Chain A
Amino acid sequence: MITRRHLLGTAGAGAALAGSGLAFPKLDQAHAEIPNIDAGLPAGTRGEAVMERLPGKQPLIKLTYRPPNYEAPVDYFKTPITPNDKFFVRYHLADIPEKIDAKTWKLSVGGDGTNGTAQLTLADLKKLPAVEIVAVNQCSGNRRGLFLPHVAGVEWGNGAMGCARWKGARLKDILAKAGVKPEAVEIVIDGADGPVIDKTPDFVKSIPVAKAMEDTTIVAYEMNGAPLPHFNGFPARLVVPGWTGTYWMKHLISIRAVTKPFEGFWMKSAYRIPIGKFPGARFTSQESIGPNTPITEMMVNSLITTPSEGAKVKGGKTAVSGIAWDGGYGIKTVEVSADGGKTWQPAKLGKDLGKFAFRPWSASVPVGKGAQKITARATSVNGQGQTTELIQNPAGYHHNLYSSVGVTGA
């Protein structure tokens, strides 16, 4: 049985959608090749990826059309706040609402772990105390395409991430409307998007109650001072600062407290990592239902945004800049090397927008003549550093090798 609403017919579909003014991808004519696509990506990815424009977006790197998976080129990370129209787009399943009416949207709160139930409109949500937080939303599989050997999945380069100023209501204040029982272990979240066929597991996630109750875990209705773009979860999404994007449910419609670990496919079988290979918070209630553990906090990481890959530089002292981020401990240092890691120079850290934000940095390093590699490495306040060897895991999560660009010195 097919549940997709998009079966409008073939020839008539475009006209019908155009006439209804729906927010569905009207692809831009500027279907363009990608300059400097990362040579580490699978050959098939490099062949099929193109710059495309989704409605309301600047051109992004299209990896897949349906469901839409579009990442930002490295150039878009030259500022520590990622503009809404340059923010990456990631969906698991292709039955995505064409448009959500903010006036009729409702968020339901309940589950066997609450005393009662509640239903909130967007206006109700905005009446709760508002919280603003700058936080990085990064896909668990960002840089999956750079794993060697390659692993199956969406073959992201560097751009399945962005950093925004989110404004919304605390999840704990929303849960208080229904009253969470002491025996609740997880909070289950679901969005309005879903699968094409009803046998495909809907994308539903859960977080530990303790994480849900943190002051920084919010249901955001604003992103960088504007409503969320449709493809970033309009009208409201969960924001779980420090944790990977898989928990940041878009188009949020349901919040349930549960007294047993949630066993949906996307928790039990997907987004899991081997126990003990990575630092970071453990999601222990989920460990009782599987042999491994759910991914949680982001690993410390960095990205060089200037110079760009393949750039010709003057040689001598060369300006290098970029961003660094981690799972919410804050960035302590960024160091840069232009001699293959023999010597490292400390970078100057830029404006601190909070411990969950991209931290800009800049340095000046001597670059020799000919082909050279410039490398950056970040260390977080809790002492975690980037890795020199890839930590292999089946689904290709948590890639945080030193960041580097190849340049030619004159």
Chain B
Amino acid sequence: MRYGLICAITLGLFTSAFAAPGFADEKPVQLKKADGLDKVEGNCGSCHSLDYIQMNSPFPSPALWDAEITKMIKAFGAPIDDADAKTIGDYLKKNYGS
């Protein structure tokens, strides 16, 4: 029972205040405050809650975080541009990597 498509809304509208729209009472997930967090919240948070990042930490190597971002873009179709992908990668490696 899918509802209608909401085409007018673009990913750009997902700001940090809007990072958790999926479940009405989903508790906000606060990731580490550092450069790039806004891009992580805006891009990653539109499809899944940000606890996915905390859960998968701190074990990922830089290569694993790169592979995860590539998977989200190539396999899951996340519309993340190259500049944002780099910012997100830097943020994850620095704050949630090994």
Contact = CB atoms under 8 A, between A and B. Distances in A.
Interface of A: 1-8, 10, 13-14, 17-18, 24-27, 31, 42-45, 47-49, 62-68, 94-95, 97, 100-101, 149-150, 152-155, 192, 194-201, 265, 269
A94 B6 contact: no
A195 B51 CA distance: 18
Interface size class of B (residues with CB under 8 A): 35 or more
Nearest to B60: A152
Contacts of A7: 6, 9, 21
Interface of B: 1-7, 9-11, 17-18, 20-27, 29, 46-49, 51-60, 64, 68, 75-79, 96
Contact of B56 (A44, A49, A265): A44
A27 B25 contact: yes
Contacts of A18: 24
Nearest to A145: B55
Contacts of B10: 2
Nearest to A93: B47
Contacts of A197: 46-47, 77-79
Nearest to B22: A66
Contacts of B75: 201, 265, 269
Given A7-B9, A64-B49, A152-B56, A94 B22 contact: yes
A25 B26 contact: yes
A17 to B, nearest CB: 4
A198 B11 CA distance: 13
Given A154-B55, A198-B5, 15 more contacts: A1-B5, A5-B3, A5-B4, A13-B21, A13-B24, A25-B26, A27-B25, A44-B58, A49-B55, A65-B20, A66-B22, A199-B78, A200-B77, A201-B76, A265-B75
6 contacts: A6-B23, A26-B25, A27-B25, A67-B48, A153-B56, A197-B46
Contact of B27 (A31, A94, A200, A269): A31
Contacts, number: 145
A26 B79 contact: no
B96 A152 contact: no
Contacts of A94: 22, 47-48
A122 to B, nearest CB: 14
Given A48-B54, A48-B55, A95 B24 contact: no
- For the complex of A and B, the 7 pairs showing the least CB-CB separation, nearest first, are A199-B77, A44-B57, A66-B22, A5-B3, A48-B54, A66-B49, A65-B49
A196 B26 contact: no
A20 to B, nearest CB: 10
B55 A44 contact: yes
